[in-house]
Amino acid sequence: MGLIRLLLLIGLGWLLFKVVRFYLSRPPAATTPVDPAANPDASRLVACAHCGTRIPLNRAVLADSRIYCGLECRRLGPAD
């Protein structure tokens, strides 16, 4: 009887450890998305200066007065 109780306590301790570790390792909650009605420019599509992909303005990367779809395109520069 004592061994079973000990094994149950060890199992519950391990489970509690896993649950706490899971919640502590989670990334912080994402910010709320921009409401397009509040900011009409946020949903406007713009073209990337490197690859031409059209993305919403609020997700664009701005550098040297040019618009890029991501950091890789920004690193590669404009397609001239």
Kindly compute the dihedral angle of the four CA atoms of residues 72, 73, 74, 76, in this order, to the nearest 10 degrees: 90
- Give pLDDT tens digits for 28-64: 655 555 555 666 666 789 999 999 999 988 888 888 8
Asked which of 7-11, 24-28, 30-34 is least confident by mean pLDDT, the reply is 30-34
Radius of gyration for the chain, computed over Cα atoms and rounded to the nearest angstrom: 25
% of residues, the chain, pLDDT over 90: 32
What pLDDT, on the 0 to 100 scale, is given for residue 17?
94
Domain boundaries, the chain: 2-27+36-76
